[in-house]
Structure 1
């Protein structure tokens, strides 16, 4: 018995150091800059690769639910309902046989719905190739009927920058023309319209991030494709950032210039600096990482959610409107140009670009950059700043009980986590964090807004996250409402996917919407202190502990936005945070340590008892005066052994 006690004292001698180690990957309690909840059991399905993939690309057709995944030498069609392989085909990779040096695999880099087929391109052993996959007659499988030269569509090596886009039967792409990453530019490569490309001096060592068409139903000839990229800064002074983020545009109807001048070149290309930061302090996040464009009925209200990083290791999200971007392109002066602007204005969409006056085309050729910068809708600061290293962003829209549409940012970190962030009002609210992988970063991410699921690709697997995982807030109406999760509302069945008539307060999470009965109103007037006796975590747990024995109590953390305390005999003490638990350590049991302990959380004005313990004294017989009953020794030892085993388990988990 004495050895066990000494062992435990040794283990807990520097418990504060041990606990601090356990906090390295857990949010700080009471801080709204961290996720409110660490989600569990939100992954609704997974498909594991037989061989790890260095690169994967997704094509997800939301209307049909078809999911295609491109990897190393293969394309998979997955059944997302049961994660079985509906179809698999190996592509004819003739380039691999001729590859002389370096990795010679065929890494799939492009999957698009193009014309009447699925269009797939890959590196093909440094000889980029594309294939059309046609549905067979029974529409149950695909077969490769045609193959094409893929240079300018797929990169030569999967690590090279590239992007692709299909618009109304036309294929647009950005990829290098050789292995040295030369002539990386945005082109129209195939389709019903003429092939067009960029003038070499328009961009400097670009990294293309995203391209999207913004539809104008009432004026389709004025529709434009917006391209987001970053490029090397021509200012090489030490204080200048090496990168500049850009938004550019080209007209969908652009067919290039006349045969005599600028033939097969964009006549509508314009670019502007995209800024995210603090203009008053001249402090900016200059490295654009990812972009998600949310289309609106009025094209000017289309929102651009852009993810940036900085030289001081922070990431930020800035939000722009297409209307504000267009205002710069339509009204700004041209950088470096101080003469009269010709008509039609350079960059304007015209039905016959080949007939444009030479003066207009010359302006595009020599002065494509706008003098004014594109600022975010919040202007004075980014919408969201974080110390997390985010790498990807998608945004979903959810209709709340109040019939308002709420935007949810889904942000991927560089260590396999997804943060769900509410964009309502002027400040973001971090709803939850979901860990999907312990050992790899996220390669691809696609949103299924209809099914409210997020499909995430890793080197080892594909996972699906259920965005309507409401059971995590199921303890009470207050827990459900405090989550401010527009996917979830309190109903007679508990916290469930949002339905009309459910209880919800997405805007500020005030729980007075839960107070629908007289008894509940009394609880609100008493600062909402609530003990849900039907919940297992709130049942009183009784421990019989000997004098002089070290002991600790633990309760689960339901919300990292809450502050937790331990209350005992009218005294409060702070919780000792260990990962997802709050602990209270008693170095050696004394008479004053016995009694009832309550683990209490407070979030806003909602107070609840998370867990309750009662500690009673266990008398250990004096071994010098009588024979020890083996059952008594085992009973006393069990308390210490239980505590030791838990500490050892926590230590092992931290080391792992």
Structure 2
């Protein structure tokens, strides 16, 4: 009897420590029952790995939509990836330049730029702090010619840079000096004249992205948009030191006349990119990443921007290209109070060298718009999180109902990927995937045609399959509740979306499963009486002695669901331990025996996840077996809770 009381006391002690234990052992596991967390912790969605021979300090991933090709650049090499066979399709080693005779400092050629011009691959690298570029025939890697890469590639991989191919021209931002200074956005290589920025237009910028927005019906008005953050001129101690911007230049811009602004942008304008809560004057000012989702009509093009804040939160704001253009076309110019000259500063013209001095002077001295660019949701960001996201891409997915949905893929520095549905005004967090890695995430690209996400780390590249539908394969209800546009329910189970598949992306209600009579009946039975819906043959049976502590466990299928334990006419909340739901019984008594069912409820779907049937252990060795069972039960519980073993007396 003394031993029994000791075991029960230890059991009760474990309950007191339970919540502390959860904090220590499962701090990265979502707590169920909230819509602001991932619905599912995805497993086994990594379909391919490319392991580097040696760790890479820096890698760059480039995806070319026209060819569907993905290239990766590292130290002294370029790979072309085959995502169908999960292998390297081509390996390119760049030839040494005549100047590559290092007397001191690093001699490594770390690739920073990969662009494709037709059948030619344009590759640039740091080249031992002497930036250089090579043009190669992409099929054979034979060098066509090479050139100085200053202003295209940085001197070291840690310096800020970006590049963009527009038809036959290359636009780039990279320092002109080894110390990282003279950083500005230029048209630097290609068929047309080099054009650069005026020195006073930006202050210590960090360029994030550049994008060419096409206008099929009006190509002369096409523009290049540049997204960056720069040092805030507001010296107020409470002001954020950074401010985020969107700028633009005309594709047709050739610079000014020989007398004024020769080889300098005549169309450069910039505006503040706002993300936050305007009514509270609370903003996320540090732009981290950009994904531009192009549309047939340029007005429908959307910009997905990832921001961080001084209070360690991140946010996603979505902008309309029509709204951005409206600011540039209609806002007044900050600090300029005179009549606006004609043509309006920033207007695209056929020959920029003929622009009047008055127009170009406004661009030179007052390039900033007075009005700010607000997101489509205006009063608040689309999504706010405490996760430290660093990368964002957005896929367009056609669902079974022929509607097209946007799915955001957000990555943290540690390789945690969140798949988020954009449906209406609120985000729906479909799943979380943790990509195993030994280093920080370096680069991420989406192959929308193959529905695969490519993520680069120092030691390897991982390929994530976005159509991992088998994870929702338990029933039509589970498949529909996922609200994953990549997946729909068919007679073959939850599979990549087909036209005849069953989905409900809008609200996830499982009433659409009534197309399957058996599924519909199962849902109705669950609603009427969850405890009666489980086949007795599927119960897990346990014989337990009277008086001993005992616990039951069932897996968490969805973190958006609410879980309860049903026993006779009573309901008990479940205690979460990692990805399991526990019911703790301090001491078995006559009322403790019988059937227990772990029931989950999510939206309109109720199901029994797991069931147990407990019976009392009887027999001539009852007392001896009771003592052994008590010790085993208590030890097992303590192991599960992560508190370790404790000694038991025989």
Deviation at 1:132, TM superposition (A): 1.7
CA shift at 1:21, angstroms?
2.1
Secondary structure in structure 2 of the residue aligned to 1:364 = helix
Residues in 1 aligned to 2:122 and 2:537: alpha-carbon distance in whole angstroms: 57
The residue that corresponds to 2:390 in the other structure is: 391
TM-aligned CA deviation for residue 10 of structure 1: 5.2
List aligned pairs for 1:253-652, cutoff 5 A.
Answer: 253-516=252-515, 528=527, 539-619=538-618, 621=620, 637=628, 641=632, 644=635, 648=639, 651=642
| Alpha-carbon distance change, 231 to 652 in structure 1, aligned in 2, over 3 angstroms | farther
1:34 maps to what in 2?
37
Give me the whole-angstrom Cα distance separating, in 2, the residues matched to 1:242 and 1:512.
51
Give the distance between the partners of 1:479 and 1:395, measured in 2 at CA.
24
- Which of 15, 25, 29 is matched with 2:28 structurally? 25
Q: 1:21 & 1:469 partners in 2: Cα distance?
A: 31
In the superposition, relative to structure 1, how do residues 530 and 305 fare at CA in structure 2: closer, same or farther (>3 Å)? farther
How many residue pairs are counted as aligned between the two chains?
640
**Paired position in structure 1 for 2:222:** 223
- TM-score with structure 1 length normalisation? 0.92
* C-alpha displacement of 1:546: 2.4
CA deviation after TM superposition for structure 1 residue 528, in Å: 3.5
Give, in whole Å, the separation in 2 of the partners of 1:440 and 1:538.
48
Structure 2: gaps of 5 or more residues: 645-650
Q: CA 1:531/1:134 → structure 2, altered by over 3 Å: closer, same or farther?
A: farther
Following the alignment from structure 1 to structure 2, what is the Cα–Cα distance between the partners of residues 256 and 41?
Answer: 53
- Equivalent in the alignment of 2:51: 48
The alpha-carbon deviation at position 41 of structure 1 amounts to 1.3
Contact 1:29 1:562 in 2 (8 A): yes
Spell out, residue by residue over 1:105-163, the C-alpha distance to the aligned partner (whole angstroms, 9 max, x if none): 2211111113541111111121111112213xxx4x42334222111111111111100
Aligned to 2:116: 113
Which residue of structure 1 lines up, in the alignment, with residue 102 of structure 2? 98
Judged with a 3 Å threshold, the aligned counterparts in structure 2 of structure 1 residues 373 and 346 are, in CA distance, closer, same or farther, namely same
1:408-466 per-position Cα deviation (integer Å, ceiling 9, x unaligned): 11111122111111101111111111111254332111111111111111112111111
Cα contact 2:334–2:368 (8 A) shared by 1: yes
Pair 1:7–1:455, CA change in 2 (3 A): farther
> Do the aligned residues in 2 keep the contact of 1:320 with 1:375 (CA within 8 Å)?
yes
CA distance in 1, matches of 2:144, 2:629: 71
CA-to-aligned-CA distance 1:184-235 (integer Å, 9 cap, x gap): 0000001111000000000000000110100011111110000000000001
Aligned 1:120-131 pairs, distance under 5 A: 120-131=123-134
1:132 corresponds to: 135
Partner SS state of residue 515, structure 1 = helix
Q: 1:551 to 1:63 in 2, by over 3 A?
A: farther
- Judge conservation of contact 1:523–1:530 (CA < 8 Å) in 2: no
Partner residue of 2:73?
Answer: 70
Secondary structure of 1:431's partner? strand
Q: Is the 8 A contact 1:9 1:550 kept in 2?
A: no
**Residue pair 1:417, 1:433 contacting (<8 A) in 2 also:** yes
CA contact (8 A) 1:530 1:607 kept: no
SS in 1 for 2:484: coil
Unpaired segments of 5 or more residues in structure 1?
none
Rounded to whole Å, the distance in 1 between the matches of 2:536 and 2:442 is 38
Tell me the alpha carbon deviations over residues 59-114 of structure 1, each in whole angstroms, 9 at most, x when there is no partner. Answer: 2334544332111222222332333333323333456642523x442211111113
CA distance in 2, matches of 1:70, 1:8: 61
| 1:243 CA drift (Å) | 0.8
Contact 1:244 1:286 in 2 (8 A): yes
Kindly indicate whether the alpha-carbon contact (under 8 Å) linking 1:401 and 1:503 is maintained by their aligned counterparts in 2. Answer: yes
1:287 deviation in Å?
Answer: 0.6
The question of whether the paired residues in 2 share the 8 Å contact of 1:171 and 1:188 is answered with yes
Contact 2:438 2:459 survives alignment (8 Å): no
Determine the structure 1 residue equivalent to 2:167: 168
Tell me if structure 1 keeps the 8 A contact 2:409–2:418.
yes
C-alpha contact 1:96 1:105 (8 A) present in aligned 2 = no
Check the 8 A contact 1:267/1:353 in 2, yes or no: yes
Q: Deviations over 1:537-592 (max 9, x none)?
A: 99210112223333221111111001111112222111111111111122333333
Q: Please name the residue that 1:191 is paired with.
A: 190
Contact conserved, 1:565 with 1:574, CA < 8 A, in 2?
Answer: yes
Distance in 2 (alpha carbons) for counterparts of 1:47 and 1:344: 53
Any conservation in 1 of the 2:551–2:637 contact (CA below 8 Å)? no
Answer whether contact 1:248 1:269 (CA < 8 A) is retained.
yes
Contact 2:599 2:608 in 1 (8 A): yes
Distance 1:311 1:24, change over 3 A: same
SS at the partner of 1:651?
Answer: coil
> 82-91 or 327-336: which moved more?
82-91
The 1-side partners of 2:622 and 2:503 are apart by: 61
Distance 1:532 1:48 in 2: 50
Q: Structure 1 CA distance, aligned partners of 2:397 and 2:348?
A: 35
Q: Tell me how far apart the structure 2 counterparts of residues 499 and 515 of structure 1 sit (CA, whole Å).
A: 18
RMSD: 2.8
Q: Residue 276 of structure 1 contacts residue 381 of structure 1 at CA under 8 Å; is this kept in 2? A: yes
Q: Structure 2 vs 1, CA of residues 177 and 649 (structure 1 numbering), >3 Å: closer, same or farther?
A: farther
**In the aligned structure 2, how far is the partner of 1:313 from the partner of 1:160?**
24
Q: Structure 2: how far apart are the matches of 1:81 and 1:44?
A: 10
TM-score with structure 2 length normalisation?
0.92
